[in-house]
Every structure is written in structure tokens, then in C-alpha cells.
Structure 1
Amino acid sequence: MHFPALFLLSNIFAFSTGSLLGSALGGKRANLRFIAENSHRKPKSQAGWYLYHKSKNYATMLGAVKEGTKSGLRLCGWVSVFVVSEGCVDRVRGRVDAVGTVVAAGATAGAFSLWNRLSYAMTVRTAKQGLALGIGFGVLQDVLRVVKGEGDDIKYLSWLPRRKPEVIVETHKTTSTTPATEAKV
């Protein structure tokens, strides 16, 4: 897949995933915060309970939207770092294969660990997970390229059936109109 399309699609998917997960977490957290902040003044009438739940639902929704947006943008940033570093590694190496994906995943995991100031044990764990996901994602990309017929340079997948790329031959007919042919038509 070409870089602009990959960048756009991966960021759309990352924002969607991050916002869904973040809004679920943020809504639950805002709900519990509202209950804790208002536990000392419970309503005493039916109208009071109605307004209490209305305010609680509003606070929950607002917390979900705020946290969902933050999480979606945060995940978009890290996915952008991964996709750009993968593209840079592939361009520097001059070929597109799983190695670029693994290097980009390791670099992104390291950058994530430094940015969040993780402990040594968590950094090692993050690096292992990043490399494992990089290997899986890179091999999957290579398999898809080989099956589509684009990965002739990928030797370790030579046993997979390959689709031969179709060659489109365009012929351009140049027709010149003369007064004699125009009269017949």
C-alpha cells in the first residue's frame, strides 16, 4: 500500500480505536467522580433525583468525549510515529519487507518507553511486545504483497502461490476525419 493511503487509513483506525476505548474509560471515571463529589448531598425529592441523574449523565458524557478525544489523538500520534519510521526505514533500505516493520516497531516501542519514563522492566516488556507485533504485522504485509503478485523480492515466502500481475496494454487509435468519411456517417 502506498504511504499516503497507509498513513491515512492507519490514523483513521487508530483514532477510532483510541476514542472508543478512551470514551469508555473516561465515561466510567467521570461517572464515579460525579458520584464521589455529590455523595454528601443526595436529593430528597423526585424532581431532585431527576436533576441528579440528568447532571450525572451529562458529566459522564462530557468526560467520555474529553477522554475519548485525548486517547484517540494520543494513539494517532504513536501510530504516525510508527508509520513514518517504517516508511523511512523502507526508503533507506531501498526495499519493502518485514525488516522495516520490525525496526520501526522496536524504535516506536523505545520512543514510547522514553516518552512515558517507564521503568527498566516495563521498557523491556514494551520492547518485546513491540517487536512481536512488528514481526506479525511485517510478515502479514509481506504475505499480502506476495499473494497480490508484488513481492518478487521476498525470498522467504517463495512457497506461497503468487498471482501474476495483469499487464494492461492500451492501444490508442488515432482516427483522422476527412470530409469523405464525414459525409458517409
Structure 2
Amino acid sequence: MWPFSSKNGDERRERGHLRAPAAPAEVNIPGSWAQPSTHADEPDTDLAADIDETLQTVTLQRQRLGLHPVLRIPLIGAISFFAGFGLGSAHGSTTAALRYRAENAHRPPTSRTGWYLYGKSRNYHAIIGGVTEGVKNGGRYAAWTTLFLAIEDGLDRARGKVFASRQDREEGKLARGQRDFLNTVSAAVAFSGLYGWKHGFDRWSAQRMTRSAVRFAVPYGLAQDALASLRGDRPWYVDWVMGRTVGRHEVEQAI
């Protein structure tokens, strides 16, 4: 018989001379007729990362100055601290130097060595007084600035929850376009009231401070609205004006 017939092959396989043919390996060939990959059920991590990054970018675009409050408030507070530290240290060093001169006016130095030690001691008192007053003044600036920004962010969140749809409210989302200059002005008025109450201002001083706060808050809030509009997150009144303008233009073209 033919040596590779089924009968002889089975006999030789039983004796160990022949081995069963191995199963062909799966080959992934590109194309619509290719076999599906064994990793088809695994989630696409790159796509998920891109989606998360896009959502984070959109969320940051809807924040004031493009910064999340967790980062924006400490950053502006730190800037206020350094600004207050510079002003306070300049005033504190001058005051400390003048105080030292007044305290030692009755015993002026009489020798070159005495004048050298007098100047050195005065500079030491000026540095200590400048650093001390700078830290105090910077801390006050940072605290009041943080309070103003916290009130502004609280008003933004409150209005966002009030004007959000029911579905967005259940999902924890806020309504768009509610971060505008009105919240900034309201926060400035509340801030001025708390500041006047803390320092015991009278009626006329409190009114003058409130007017100054409003004069500062209106351009500051409008500048933030302009930046938000450039980023694509327009406030509600900008959308309202644009909608009325576009609608009127379409009606005029239809006529």
C-alpha cells in the first residue's frame, strides 16, 4: 500500500513515527475580510484619554480667566500678597527708620565709629520693620482678595444652579453663560459692605467705598466677559443681543 495512506499513517502515528499537524496560527491581515483581533473587546484607552482631555478643556474654557477656582483663587491671592508685601515693606521700613531717629535724637553720635554703628543699627531696624509690616499688609491683601473671589465664585455657582435645566441639575452641571459682570459687581458690593463693617466705617465712608468698588468691578467684569466671549463661552446677554441682531437681519432679508 501507499506508505502515506490513512491506514499506514495511523499505524505509524501510533508507533510515534508521525506527529499530528499543528493548527495554523491566526494571522491578522488588514482589510475588511481580515479576522477580528483578539483585543477587540478591550477599551480604547487613547480615545478615552482624548475625551477626558477635551472635557477638561471645555470645562476650563467656561471658568473665569480660563482657570479653575481651586487654582485661580490661590494664584490671585498670592499675587495680592506680594503686591501688599511690597507696599507694606516700603512703608514699614521708612516708618521704622524715622522712629529710630526720633527715639535717638537726644543722643547723637560724636565719633566716626559712633555714626557708623548708628547707621548700621538704623538700617537693621528699617529692614525688620519693613519685613514685619510687609508680611502683615500682604496677609491682609491676600485675605480680602480671597474673600472677594470666593463671593464671586459662589454667585457664579448659585446662578448656574438656578438657571440650569432639571437634567443638568441632577447631573451636577451648571448653566452656561451665567458668569458675567453682574456677579462681579454684586461681589464687589458685598465685599465693600463687609470691609466697611469690619473697620467701622460711617454711612458716608461706606457709600464712598461702595461707589469705588462698583467703578472697579464694572470694567473688571466686562473684561472677563470679553475674554470669555473670545474663548467661545459667551455670557447670556451677548447671546441675547446676537440672537436679536441675527433674527432682525433674517427678517429684513425675508422682506
Q: TM-score range by the shorter chain?
A: 0.7 to 0.9
What is the rounded CA distance, in whole Å, between the counterparts of 2:137 and 2:240 in structure 1?
Answer: 37
> Which amino acid letter does the alignment assign opposite residue 182 of structure 2?
V
> Which amino acid letter does the alignment assign opposite residue 114 of structure 1?
W
Partner of residue 132 from structure 1, selected from 212, 215, 236: 215
* Alignment partner, residue 20 of structure 1: 86
The answer as to whether partners of 1:25 and 1:64 remain within 8 angstroms in 2 is yes
Residues 130-181 of structure 1: per-residue CA shift (max 9 Å, x gap): 111111111110011111222253427967xxxxxxxxxxxxxxxxxxxxxx
In 2 relative to 1, CA 93–152 (structure 1 residues): closer, same or farther, beyond 3 Å? closer
The answer as to whether partners of 2:179 and 2:235 remain within 8 angstroms in 1 is no
* Alignment partner, residue 109 of structure 1: 192
| Aligned-pair Cα RMSD in Å | 1.5
The answer as to whether partners of 1:146 and 1:157 remain within 8 angstroms in 2 is no
What is the rounded CA distance, in whole Å, between the counterparts of 2:192 and 2:68 in structure 1?
Answer: 24
Q: After the TM superposition, which segments of 4 or more aligned residues of structure 1 sit over 4 Å from their partners?
A: 156-159
Q: Say whether residues 1:70 and 2:153 are aligned partners.
A: no
Report 1:34-113 matches (<5 A): 34-94=100-160, 95-113=178-196
Identity %: 35
- In the TM superposition, residue 109 of structure 1 has moved relative to its aligned partner by 0.6
With normalisation by structure 1, the TM-score equals 0.82
Unaligned runs of 5+ in 2: 1-66, 161-177, 243-255
The answer as to whether partners of 2:69 and 2:153 remain within 8 angstroms in 1 is yes
> Which amino acid letter does the alignment assign opposite residue 80 of structure 2?
A
Q: How many residues align?
A: 159
Which protein is bigger by CA-based radius of gyration?
A: 2
Unaligned runs of 5+ in 1: 160-185
The answer as to whether partners of 1:30 and 1:59 remain within 8 angstroms in 2 is yes
